[in-house]
Structure 1
């Protein structure tokens, strides 16, 4: 299903979609096509794309690409899959009860969870807010343990 979504492999493509997506939430999924977690998330994203198309644009960012490493480092993409949200070129943050408000880490449990999150982000962004409270109950938010290297 992920073949239905735009895949970005160049820094210029990512810059362009961030700059050119106006009055819609831009959902960038950072990951690898070969990763099982990405497959699950991509399936949900592809199935949701039409339903959110009036207020959101979804694109996949292939972190295997050397050109994309500048974004991988900038957004501290250490866990796959990760989603970053933008609205009118502003990076939006979401408080989902995890330590990291800059991105969504992991797959959604179901299609409606993704739609609910994107709607909440869109509504908040339209009001000028740059941080959104996650609308999902805690049991449907992926849990992860950060790994600290060289501490």
Structure 2
């Protein structure tokens, strides 16, 4: 759990965060604050927050505290990152088949910055789906 990134404590707060931001991307990490994967992800998000402040605002939501979106966004993974721009859900093709969210901890700061920048640039051009700068289809080695 990151104490340095803002937490949203109700469904209303999540909605307001998404609705009120008009110029930047809204990045929301859904998960359990005490989960090991969430802690790793929060650390990366905290470290990049200053670098992406002109492009994005980052929020954290504990899915146990705010269960309102669990079914709507299918938040069943340990950590999930979703992106919104001007009240629109932004999708990113990561090569995994799930274009709605990132549902694993991205531990590389530069990769996360690149993804946020790619989505931000695409969103400003009016695109609802952008292609990831890196293909994650071979992330798992079987």
Distance 2:74 2:40 in 1: 22
Q: How far off its partner does 1:26 sit? A: 0.5
Question: 1:103: how far off?
Answer: 0.6
Partner of 2:117: 119
The question of whether the paired residues in 2 share the 8 Å contact of 1:105 and 1:142 is answered with: no
SS of the counterpart of 1:82? strand
Name 1:132's counterpart in structure 2: 130
Q: Gapped runs of 5+ residues in structure 2?
A: none
**Runs (5+) with no aligned partner, structure 1:** 144-151
Following the alignment from structure 2 to structure 1, what is the Cα–Cα distance between the partners of residues 23 and 70? 25
Equivalenced residue count is: 140
TM-score (norm 1): 0.88
The list of structure 1 runs, each at least 4 consecutive aligned residues, that deviate by more than 2 angstroms after superposition, is: none
Q: What's the counterpart of residue 6 of structure 1? A: 6
C-alpha distance in 2, partners of 1:33/1:93? 24
Contact 1:108 1:142 in 2 (8 A): no
More helix by share: 1
> What does 1:50-65 align with in structure 2 at a 5 Å threshold?
50-65=50-65
TM-score (norm 2): 0.93
Check whether the contact 2:96–2:136 (CA below 8 A) recurs between aligned residues: no
CA RMSD of aligned residues (A): 1.5
- Look up the SS of the partner of 2:41 in the other structure: helix
Does the aligned pair in 1 maintain the 2:27–2:59 contact within 8 Å?
yes
Q: CA deviation at 1:138?
A: 3.0
Q: In the TM superposition, what are the counterparts of 1:66-85 in structure 2 within 5 Å?
A: 68-85=66-83
